[in-house]
Structure 1
Amino acid sequence: MSGVLGWWRDPWRRPWGLFLVTLLYLAWSLLPVLVAALFSFNAGRSRTVWQGFSMRWYYGDPLRSVWHDASLHTALTHTLWLGVVATAVTVPLGVAMALGLDRWRGPLPAGANLAVLVSFVLPEILVAVSLLFVATVLTTPLQLGTTGQVLGLVTYQLSYPVVIVRARLLTIGRDYEEAAVDLGASPAGAVRRVLLRMLVPAIFASAVLVFADVIDDFVIVRYLSGDSSTEPVSVKVYNTARAAPTPALNALTTLLLATSLLAVMVGFLAYRWFTRGEKDSRGLDVFTGEA
């Protein structure tokens, strides 16, 4: 009875209502994903009736499994290729831009900083349509296909590493860099040997975020895709979802989900390794806050 009275006096001491809402939200968000992943192991062709456990749609079926179906295999490998290439291009550019914006003063860098912030609220479909116009109407290196998809993804994802690295720069401050210069290091050497090493956690968090977002992207890659060989998993699922697909489509998306989870796990372990010894830097909440 005293516990009930205490809750009425201070309902925020133990917010069971918020806890319940959180559980309901997680169940609503994750349950469909888990069901779709479960039916990727279905032995039959049904995606709604369970017919036994099997790896048929991953590699067992000689025609329609992900391993043997050329179109599904191509979509998966193309998605992973886009993720790796776009991340490898976006993160170094974002780190360089963050360093430049952190040190450059004036109206031009202020405008660039505003453009970075605006990209967070700019609709992705607007970026995709604009890039499609550039690729099809103007004479530029941007062409439909893998090249156009990579350039489009880099353009859209660049703001993430810029913001994350700049936040880390504000946390670090200028003391370490100035101390390195006082000890005889050149300004470039201080950046390379001191500052970049301290930025490694933010760089890894940026890489994980960009990679996970790229392999899930649909709008940009769909508008900038060329022939069927440049269809990633998201576009493949969209094109075949209404054509009575087999559970092989579930298996394809499950593999992509596993890749995203693996990337996040690797990023979290790398973050813990590079921030060992730092105060309050080993929790998952800190890593997600960094990312």
Structure 2
Amino acid sequence: MTRRIRGPIAWWNDPWRPPRVLVAVTIGYLLWSLLPVLVAVLYSFNDGRSRTTWQGFSFRWYWGDTTHSVWHDASLHDALFQTLKLGVIATVITVPLGVLFAIGIDRWRGKLPAGANFLMLVAFVLPEVLLAVSLLFVITTVALPIQLGTTAQVIGLVTFQVSYPAVLVRARLATIGPQYEEAAMDLGASPFGALRRVIFPMLTPAVFASTVLVFADVIDDFILVRYLSGGADTEPVSVKIYNTARGAPTPALNALATLLLLTALAAVVIGYLVFRRMTRNDDTTADRGIGAFAGEM
């Protein structure tokens, strides 16, 4: 009969012992991050005008108040509509560009594509405010057929976001490898036919994940859309909250932020569930959960 070792040696050598310190740090971080959000969401259901004193549960600031609720205040639901419009338009443009860019860089050899790949990666460390100020300067000083507003905001968002689908698709291409495409061409397919019939279907999970992540990131953007907005009619939710919070805001502002939060969460959750369904038979992603969905291909 083997005697169980006790003491410090058993404590360090037990492979099944949960890392309590790391668990505590993780839980503490999650609580610290989520508590302000939960408080803001809670007060969006406050029956009174206070954002600090609870006065009863109500949907007043969503649709009950005939003047200041999100449903009845034109400036608030216009901001929500502008956010969703920017999210859809920027995503529809960004994802195809990123996919084509990734495929082109993956198949192009030489110093020039290596430089292009480096510039793509630089976008991850480029300060967003620098890009916003630069685009603002170009649009306002150079004779271009572009004015501040929705068009300028879409251009800025696409410029900033295009590297995300490019990196995700390139990671997926590295996981797939060249063997499937080569096998298709050995069986008589043209290079374009192999790309269309074999590679594109295998890239679908990465493209879908890119679409969800880009949309969720775009609707949450603040710096670019604020610098490139053309006035109150093109202010999205993030800018509207910033401008209104400096005055005497009502809980309708919390309700507006809650609706944006629910939109982003719904997009990510639905996207992840669909992604898991699409990759349930894929050994390269099936066992990696949210990591694969976030681009850790």
TM class, shorter-length: over 0.9
The answer to whether 1:239 aligns with 2:243 is yes
Aligned to 1:281: 286
Aligned to 1:194: 198
Counterpart CA distance in 2 for 1:143 and 1:11 is 64
User: Letter of the aligned partner of 1:138 in structure 2?
Assistant: V
Q: Deviations over 1:111-144 (max 9, x none)?
A: 1101001111111000000000011000123321
Aligned to 1:152: 156
* Structure-2-length-normalised TM-score: 0.93
Aligned to 1:78: 82
Counterpart CA distance in 2 for 1:195 and 1:43 is 55
Distance 1:66 1:187, change over 3 A: same
Aligned to 2:257: 253
Aligned to 1:114: 118
Aligned to 1:14: 18
Counterpart CA distance in 2 for 1:19 and 1:95 is 38
User: Letter of the aligned partner of 1:20 in structure 2?
Assistant: A
Is contact 2:171–2:295 with CA below 8 Å preserved after alignment?
no
Distance 1:80 1:3, change over 3 A: farther
Aligned to 1:142: 146
Q: Deviations over 1:216-250 (max 9, x none)?
A: 10000000000211000010011010211000000
Structure 1 residue 194: Cα displacement: 1.0
Distance 1:18 1:184, change over 3 A: same
Cα RMSD after superposing both structures: 1.8
Aligned to 1:43: 47
Higher mean Cα deviation, 107-116 or 68-77?
107-116
Is contact 1:90–1:157 with CA below 8 Å preserved after alignment?
yes
The answer to whether 1:230 aligns with 2:234 is yes
Counterpart CA distance in 2 for 1:290 and 1:202 is 10
Q: Deviations over 1:61-82 (max 9, x none)?
A: 1110001100001000000000
Aligned to 1:209: 213
User: Letter of the aligned partner of 2:151 in structure 1?
Assistant: T
* Aligned-partner SS, 1:273: helix
Q: Deviations over 1:72-124 (max 9, x none)?
A: 01000000000011000000000000000000011211111010011111110
Counterpart CA distance in 2 for 1:281 and 1:143 is 46
Structure 1 residue 48: Cα displacement: 0.8
* Structure-1-length-normalised TM-score: 0.95
Distance 1:175 1:67, change over 3 A: same
Distance 1:25 1:198, change over 3 A: same
Counterpart CA distance in 2 for 1:258 and 1:247 is 16
| Identity among equivalent pairs (%) | 66
Aligned to 1:266: 270
User: Letter of the aligned partner of 1:5 in structure 2?
Assistant: P
The answer to whether 1:5 aligns with 2:19 is no
Counterpart CA distance in 1 for 2:85 and 2:114 is 34
Counterpart CA distance in 1 for 2:156 and 2:39 is 33
User: Letter of the aligned partner of 1:82 in structure 2?
Assistant: L
Q: Deviations over 1:253-290 (max 9, x none)?
A: 00000000000012112211221211251633432354
Counterpart CA distance in 2 for 1:68 and 1:259 is 20
Counterpart CA distance in 2 for 1:287 and 1:243 is 40
The answer to whether 1:124 aligns with 2:128 is yes
Distance 1:7 1:22, change over 3 A: farther
